[in-house]
Amino acid sequence: MAKKHGKFVPKPIRLNVKKKQKKYPKVRINGINRGFVSNEISTTKYTIFNFVFKNLFEQFRRIHNIYFLSIVIITLIPAISPLTPWTSILPLAFVLIVTALKDGYEDFQRFRADQKVNYKNYRVLNSSGNWKKKKSKNLKVGDIVKVTEDQFFPSDVVAIKSSHEDGKVFIETAQLDGETNLKKYSAPKACVEMIKSDEDILSCKGFVNAEPPSVHLYKFAGFTKINGKDISLDEKNLLLRGAALRNTEYVIGIVLYTGKITKLSLNQKLPPSKFSTVERRLNKSVILIFCFNMCCVTVLTIGSAIFNSGEADDAYYLQIDTNWIFQAVRDFFSYFALLSFMIPMSLMVTLEVVKVMQGRFMEWDKEMATDPNNVANTGMNVKTTNLNDELALVKYVFSDKTGTLTENVMEFQKTSIDGVCYDRAGEGELEEEARAGNVSVHDFLLNLAICHAAQPEVGDDGEISYQAQSPDEVALCDGAKVNGFVFLQRIGETKVVIKILDEEIEFEVLRLIEFTSDRKRMSVIVRMPDSMGGGIRLFCKGADSMMMKLLDDDEENNDPELKQTTLDDIENFSKEGLRTLVFAYKDLDEDEYQEWENDYGDAGKVVDPNKREKLKAKAEKKLEKGFTLQGSTAIEDKLQPEVPETIHNLLRAGVKVWVITGDKRETAINIGFSCKLLSPSMELLQIKATSCEECGESLQSMVDSFVGIEAQKARGDQQLGLVVDGQSLTWALNEHQKNFLKITELCHSVVCCRVTPLQKANVVKLLKEHTGQVCLSIGDGANDVSMIQEAHIGVGIYGREGTQAARSADYAIRQFRHLRRLMTIHGRYSFLRNANLIQYSIYKNAAAFLVQFWFAFYCGYSATTIYDDWIITLFNIAFTSTPPLFYAIFEKDIDPETIDQYPEVYRRVSTGYLFTYSSLFVWLLNAVWHSIVFIFVGVFLQANEPFYFNGKTTGLRVMGNIVATMAIVTVILRIAIETNHWNILVHCGIWGSISCYFLVLFVESFIPAFFPRQYFMFIIVFQNPTFWFTFVIVLVICLVPDIVVKHFHREFYPEDWMILQEAKKFKGADYVEEELGKRIKEMETQGENVDDNEIELEDRA
């Protein structure tokens, strides 16, 4: 705060002020370079020396571990601890060791991956002119390195020479941006002319001056001075670490950025942390249980104070040598330690193990693989197991179209040329026209064959195929080829050879201006051969929304009627779900071209990347106008298998599906109907505004017509669909959010067209924040990454254009149809299992250790433990650990085939009713009831002494073992009541755990040297028929009410899965199937009008 005229005035805050970056040191060529970063890569968190300390530090950052550590500290103080330290040390050590082993294994896997990269050999040119092998980790800045075909670049390298005469280099950047298509880079032209041999490289003297390392993959500026000559460098000269060399025998370059400052390393960041609803609810539940625990401790502390200040003073035999205040404080800490076992210490570890196993089941699922016989390579990948149960709570699915719903395999189908539509263009119809002398068709096909950046490849069978950054370009090249215009060869950067109707003709390429999402077009400038009239021609193709603005306004060059006919054809193509592009050309005179080329070339030499891009864009805009329209193409992108069935299945499951695409409105609507997202019976609402005010009026009109009780009654069961374009969406998201949300919440499905990648993320963010529902995004391309990471759950598809979406997602699948099984089967099972695992784990500890609370009223609040210390120690580790573990791994209420047939069962689970605070409260009430039964039956047995046939009485240890036996057996059998799916491991978990308890008690009974207080207890307790009689009574009192409640629920208020269980069991019972079918049909027709909480198949025969 600054003082001004006696008053304090806040200092102005400077926003977005970037620190000035330090200059990157000059890199000497064939000289000594010091002070640069090592090229060794390390992605591990630990080393051999810091693993123990760092891992313990990380584990004790978790609140529950700190809590249990405090319990250990209390048990180490004999004056206040009612337990031996082992009762808390061993369970905590078990949890810490298991977690440390898991973390260590994961880090070791990262270490092995690092070693594999660091120890790869590359050839480096030494001062003697020999190529010597050098490990990747030993490479240094300034080294001259040689990378051969199919090798990965070990660092960021400036290319100076390649096996191609013109210096071009083809690389694949799948590890960088996920794109598998080839990209063309090159050595600077001056370097290609200067360097012809290894001796030329050794004779080079100079330096490289580059910008500081940055995260921008495709932005780079610098220059090099070699033998006194200045050479400008840009992003096309920098070969990045992680890229692979393709279709190039070798490339030689100067190592520029190494190790952690390479662009790959700078772009490697942890994905955003995501926590599931179950996880957040569990954390709050643990806090509530802790509060309940503290309430119990407080009650007992007050009881201790009252007892010790009154009745205890008269009981000389208690030998209390302290005042009641000190005694109450001591008892507070004692009961704090004693009742701490109500919080299940091993729950977090068990839950983590279970989630990992659930993830493995997803990856092993043959139904989730494109090739069931090769699941390892064609199955799905789970990147985040934390969200397994969240998959069952999804209410919104946001999907890309191209490559996600469609196969991204483009086929050239139709075309419109000079106002004439050719429906069989993909079958070679145009070749006949071209051979017949149709100039318009001839020039159009020439544009198809020239205006692209594809690279031809000749197979073993002599057939030509094409490699390109976009599958659209491959389809267009194939379309030209099938019509007699075959792109044969690209000679360097300057020439292409095209076979035109059986005649090979060479064209000189003067300049290629690539397609970008901002430009929405691509241009190629060629010098026409003399046989075709000579001259310079600019060929261009692009989106109709851009290209129509760039056409010449002169009616002599572009007949308005022709333009309208072409637009009509484009609209018809779009209605058929076809992708469209507009083609045009422009003839240039020599002076015009040379003037532009000088300007464009000068712009490319500017070192500042931002200024360079602006100057280049200005030059491009100056040239790319005044085109003559040729026509348009229509390319088909077929739907993936089972897409309509999958979307229909999700809609039946109560999930709202949004398709967000960059395609035209008509194309998007057609795809919506094709994939059953939209239906003829649906009322289709459309927002296509030309201004913000018009968008607001349109939304307000819809709200007036469809929002409200009366409007819903008038609409009845009719479903609503919405189609909105990108521009209208911008206004809806910013100025008219409220009305937009009201309409979309009513809609069964929504289609957004002409949408940018940023808008995709904004739509997801809006719905996520304002509806409070779980959102899932699915896509296949780099433009879907922001949408995928914005959603609660991100699902990526391994696309034909790359794997960046799959790498950025929480789950990676092969096809869209796999989403159905991922959500409705694996997600549903995971939520069912995890919810019951958590609640059961809390129940079993509460039931067993609330006994200590009730026992306090019988022992004078002395914090005496009723259980043997080793029984307390092994309760969570051995006796009750495996039954919930195997339950949470294998439990199924109904089989996957039934869920797939009746996806409506997903609706009920997606409300989250299986794990709520009320459901947890019911489990805790059950635990309180069972604990009361355990303690008072034990007291009852003690009250009817003598216990033995010989007339001897018993003591605390006998009573403790009786109560422990009843408690442990009861809580283990309690999970058996919940189990629907039994297998050998589930049986072993339940019966093996009971046997384990009896075995431990047996061992304790006959080794008095180690367990003196348990000597002969096994015989004392189990030889008495009174114990067995009351043991059976306890099981009946505790478990029969639970069984009766479940039967009553199933008989009179059945849930959907219960009826489906019976339908599966009684397949021959027509009345069950008939009633079930009737109820399912009823749910289908009601759709979104049915409240989620009311969706139960409550009627049965």
**Gap between the Cα atoms of 1073 and 1100, Å rounded:** 9
Determine the 3-state secondary structure of 853 from DSSP: helix
Q: Express the helix, strand and coil content of the chain in percent, nearest 5 each.
A: 50, 20, 30
- CA proximity to 100, closest of 48, 60, 56, 64: 56
Q: Which residues contact 386 (CB under 8 A, 6 or more apart)?
A: 274, 275, 276, 279, 355
**Encoding tokens for residue 210?**
């580059």
By the 10 Å C-beta count (0-12 exposed, 13-18 middle, 19+ buried), 581 is classed as buried
Residues present in the chain in total: 1101
**Gap between the Cα atoms of 370 and 366, Å rounded:** 8
Sign of the alpha-carbon dihedral angle for 341, 885, 101, 359: negative
Out of 177, 365, 389, 400, pick the active-site residue.
400
**Gap between the Cα atoms of 543 and 955, Å rounded:** 89
**Gap between the Cα atoms of 1095 and 915, Å rounded:** 17
Q: What are phi and psi of 554, to 5 degrees?
A: -65, 120
**Gap between the Cα atoms of 796 and 398, Å rounded:** 12
**Count of C-beta atoms within a 10 Å radius of residue 432:** 13
H-helix or E-strand spanning residue 730: helix 726-734
For residues 496 and 487, the answer to whether their CB atoms sit within 8 Å is yes
Query: CA 1039, 1041, 1046 angle in degrees (round to 5)?
Result: 100
Per-residue DSSP letters for 636-691? EEEEPTTHHHHHHHHHHTT-EEEEE-SS-HHHHHHHHHHTTSS-TTSEEEEE--SS
For residues 506 and 494, the answer to whether their CB atoms sit within 8 Å is no
For residues 220 and 235, the answer to whether their CB atoms sit within 8 Å is yes
**Encoding tokens for residue 867?**
């259980």
For residues 301 and 335, the answer to whether their CB atoms sit within 8 Å is yes
H-helix or E-strand spanning residue 580: strand 578-588
For residues 805 and 781, the answer to whether their CB atoms sit within 8 Å is yes
First to last CA, the chain: 77
Determine the 3-state secondary structure of 947 from DSSP: coil
- CA proximity to 215, closest of 505, 384, 21: 21
400 is catalytic: yes
**Helices 828-856 and 324-338, interaxial angle, to 10°?**
150
Sign of the alpha-carbon dihedral angle for 955, 961, 963, 964: positive
- Beta bridge partners, 397, equal 657, 776
For residues 153 and 239, the answer to whether their CB atoms sit within 8 Å is yes
Active site residues: 400
